[in-house]
């Protein structure tokens, strides 16, 4: 079954929106801090049960799916017509948006994964020798910022897909229609 541009763009947008939603909910559910329980020579941090870590990882997974599908959709041979990658990169606008999409996806990945892993490490390493510890959590705002970057990345992939479609049409018109020089040679013969 051949995929259409509409199907791939809906998949990219859907995964980007899911990544955004999971990231925002993870940020909102993240506790401000844990509860310190002071014992003999150690403090044990008890964190409330919350879905932050799971939602953070789900947000990362959907960001990866959106980005991989976005990249794949740019160079997919729609209607069994392949176009060389160099034809896409002749367009400066496509090149700019392609690089912005890659950069935004990379930043979103870092902003989502770093605090999620940090939060998980705080939950796992919850015994501290410092009796004055405040039971920290991951930095507030990073997961939410990553969620917005994830949404931005999927939108940039969609803009790149539209520009790739234009570059694809330009290339196919060039290949399928003879150039003026070819027409002049045929008239002379």
- Compute mean pLDDT per 10 residues along the chain, 189 residues long, and list them: 86 97 95 87 88 96 97 88 87 94 97 95 88 85 96 96 90 72 54
pLDDT at 170: 85
> What is the structure's pLDDT at 150?
97
pLDDT of residue 160: 95
Which residues have a Cβ under 8 Å from the Cβ of 77 and sit 6 or more positions away? Answer: 83
Sheet of 35-38, strands arranged across: 35-38, 43-46, 127-128
pTM listed for this prediction: 0.86
pLDDT at 34: 86
The residues pairing with 38 across neighbouring beta strands, listed in sequence order, are 43
pLDDT of residue 83: 85
């Amino acid at each position: 079954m051949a995929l259409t541009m509409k199907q791939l763009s809906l998949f990219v947008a859907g995964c980007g929106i899911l990544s955004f939603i999971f990231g925002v909910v993870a940020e909102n559910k993240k506790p401000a801090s844990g509860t310190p329980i002071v014992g003999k020579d150690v403090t044990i941090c008890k964190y409330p049960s919350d879905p932050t870590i799971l939602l953070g990882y789900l947000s990362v997974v959907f960001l990866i799916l959106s980005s991989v599908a976005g990249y794949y959709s740019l160079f997919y041979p729609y209607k069994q017509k392949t176009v060389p990658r160099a034809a896409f990169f002749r367009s400066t606008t496509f090149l700019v948006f392609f690089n912005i999409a890659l950069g935004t996806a990379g930043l979103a990945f870092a902003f989502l994964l770093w605090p999620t892993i940090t939060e998980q490490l705080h939950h796992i390493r919850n015994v501290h020798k410092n009796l004055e510890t405040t039971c920290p959590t991951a930095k507030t705002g990073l997961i939410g910022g990553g969620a917005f970057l994830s949404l931005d990345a999927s939108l940039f992939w969609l803009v790149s897909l539209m520009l790739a479609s234009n570059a694809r049409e330009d290339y196919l018109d060039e290949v399928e229609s003879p150039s003026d020089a070819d027409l002049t040679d045929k008239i002379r013969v």
